[in-house]
Amino acid sequence: MPRISLVNETDRPDLAPLIADIKAQRGGRFLNLYRTLAHSPGVAAGWLHLFTEIRKKAKLDDASRELAIMRVAVLNGAPYEYAAHVPFALKAGVTQAQLDALTSWSVSDLYPPKMRAVLAYTDAMTREIRVPDGVFAAARAHFDEQEMVELTATIGGYNLVSRFLEAMQVPHEEGPMTSHD
C-alpha cells in the first residue's frame, strides 16, 4: 500500500498539462510512480525530463542501459523497477537467463566482457559509491566519454528511482507495461 495517496488525474485539473506530457512520453499511461510524483509538480516535470533523456535520447546502447537498471533493481530490492524493466531488457537483447542470473552475475559465464564491465560499474556505484580505478577503466574500454556520462547517470538515476519507489511503497501497475517508468 502506498504511503501517500496516488494523484488521480481527474481530481487535479490544475495538473492537466503536466499529466498530458507524462502520458505522451509514457505510452499513454499515468503510472503510479508519476501519480506519486505529481504531488510535487516541479519534481515530477524534472523527473520526466531527466528520465526521458536517459531512456530515449541517450547514445548509450539499450542493452547496457537496461542491464544497469535491472542490476540496480536487484541490488536495491526494488520489485516495481525490476518488473517494469523486464520487457525492455528483453527487447534490448538481454536474455531471460542473464536476468535470472543477475544476483550472482560475477560467477556466471553468461555475460560477455562489456556486460561484465557494466555490472561491475553498477555494483561499485550502488554499493560503494566510489568507483575503483580498475572498475572504471574496464567500463571505459567499452564506452566513449558521452556513453560513460550516460551510463553513470543511468545508474545514479535508477538508484534514485528504486529508492523513491521503495521509500514511498509505490505499487506496480497491473498488466504489461507499454512504456518505461
Residues 111-153: pLDDT tens digits?
999 999 999 999 999 999 999 999 999 999 999 999 999 999 9
The CATH code of the domain that includes 124 is 1.20.1290.10
The C-alpha cell that represents 42 in the structure block: 516541479
pTM over 0.85: yes
- Considering the domain boundaries, does residue 133 fall inside one? yes
Domain of 31?
15-57
Query: What value, to the nearest 5°, has the Cα angle with vertex 156 and ends 151 and 160?
Result: 140
Whole-number pLDDT of residue 180: 42
Q: Please compute the mean of the pLDDT values over residues 40-56 and round it to a whole number.
A: 96
CA 44 to chain centre: 15
The fraction of the chain above a pLDDT of 70, given in percent, is 96
Whether residue 83 sits in one domain with residue 35 = no
pLDDT 10s digits, 49-65 = 999 999 999 999 999 99
Q: Is residue 173 part of a domain?
A: no
Whole-angstrom Cα distance, residue 68 to residue 20? 29
